[in-house]
Structure formats: structure tokens, C-alpha cells
Amino acid sequence: MVRCDGLPQLKLRVTAGVRLLCPSPLWSLTYTRANRQNVFSSEFMKRFPQNSEKERELVWDQVMFDSFADYVDKLKLNEAIKGPSGPVQLGVSSKFDNSDIELTWAGITRRNNEDCLLIRFQAFMNRFDVTSGDVTVDGRSDYWGDMWVSVRTRELQAATLLEEVAGTVQIGQNRMPLLVFRRATLERVK
């Protein structure tokens, strides 16, 4: 289940095929980890209803957690390693540039009756620009959090994400500052 401040509860099933279950009966989205990069395509984004930016961000968060989990076997206790940094094209006219992701195995704990690796992640000074119609948003994103990955199955059990965004929003000729703090939590659906 994914929760994000200001949103109704959303559920995200964490399996080989990920399905986002939304409170609206109008839509649900599915992707597999094998084709997870497709969630950034303009075809996938067209499947979101208008004004569903927060839900879209939750799907992108899940893909991010999946990509971090790919690095689990490269981690050594208390040693930071570089994660999957670089630009991500978001549809046709938007981009997010992960400048320097660090992943650190911080310890072992239990979650959902599983022994789990506790993995810390952080990425600061990331740049982005998003255009939708006559609205343009650009700025900086700093994010960090924790993931719990099963020692036995290497499946993601839970994750937290904190993000601070600073930038500008331009609607037509009007430009205004943007300051956002976002918190998201991912948990397994039973």
C-alpha cells in the first residue's frame, strides 16, 4: 500500500507484476519489472486521468524503489555505493535528472515476518523540468529514505521516501515559487 500526504489510500502490490490499485473505479495500472521503464513513456502517461500528478509520482516512486533493489547484491554493510543516477525522460516534454544517488546497507531488521536488509538511499541536487499544456515546472529535488528488502527473497517489503522540491511554476505568463515537502510510504499488500 502506498500512502502520500493529502491523498486517499492507494495500494501498490509489490510482486513481479506491479499493479496500482486506486480509489477511483475509472482506472488501474499494471507494469512488470522487466518493462518498468515503460512507465516513463508518453503512451503510459496518457493512461493517467487528468490532474493525477500525485498518483503518477507514486508509480514513479515504485519504479525507483525497484531500481534501487537491483543493487542489493552489490552492497556492503555501512559502505555507500553509487546508485542508478542520470536523466530520466518523463513522457515527451519532461525530464528528471538524478544527479548522485547513494545507497547504503545500514543493517538487518524484521519486517512482515521476514529478515530484511535495511537500505538507506539519498539523492540531492537533482534537477527537473515538467511541461503539461501551458504549465511549466522546473527546479530542484532532494530525496532520501529507507527500504526494507527481504534477505530470503530479495523482494521489497516496505519503503519510505521524503522529498523536498524547490523551483518555479509558470502558468502562461505568470511565474511563481514552488516549495513542496512530500512523504510517501510503501507497504506490502497482504
What confidence score (pLDDT) does residue 27 get? 43
Q: Please give the C-alpha separations between residue 94 and each of 101, 129, 131, in angstroms, as whole numbers.
A: 20, 5, 6
Given 3-state DSSP classes, what are the helix, strand and coil percentages for the chain, each rounded to the nearest 5? Answer: 15, 55, 25
Calculate the average pLDDT of the chain.
78
Q: Which three three-digit cell numbers place residue 95? A: 525530464
**Euclidean distance between CA atoms 33 and 125, whole angstroms:** 27
Which range (1-10, 48-57, 68-77, 110-119) has the least confidence? 1-10
Residue 61 has pLDDT above 60, yes or no: yes
**Cβ atoms within 10 Å of 14's Cβ, excluding its own:** 22
pLDDT tens figures, 131-181: 878 889 999 999 999 999 999 988 889 899 999 999 999 998 999 999 999
**Euclidean distance between CA atoms 8 and 26, whole angstroms:** 15
**Euclidean distance between CA atoms 61 and 81, whole angstroms:** 20
Question: Cα angle at 114 between 185 and 81, to 5 degrees?
Answer: 65
Residue 20 has pLDDT above 60, yes or no: no
Which range (20-29, 43-52, 163-172) has the least confidence? 20-29
Q: Higher confidence at residue 178 or residue 3? A: 178
Domain boundaries, the chain: 2-187
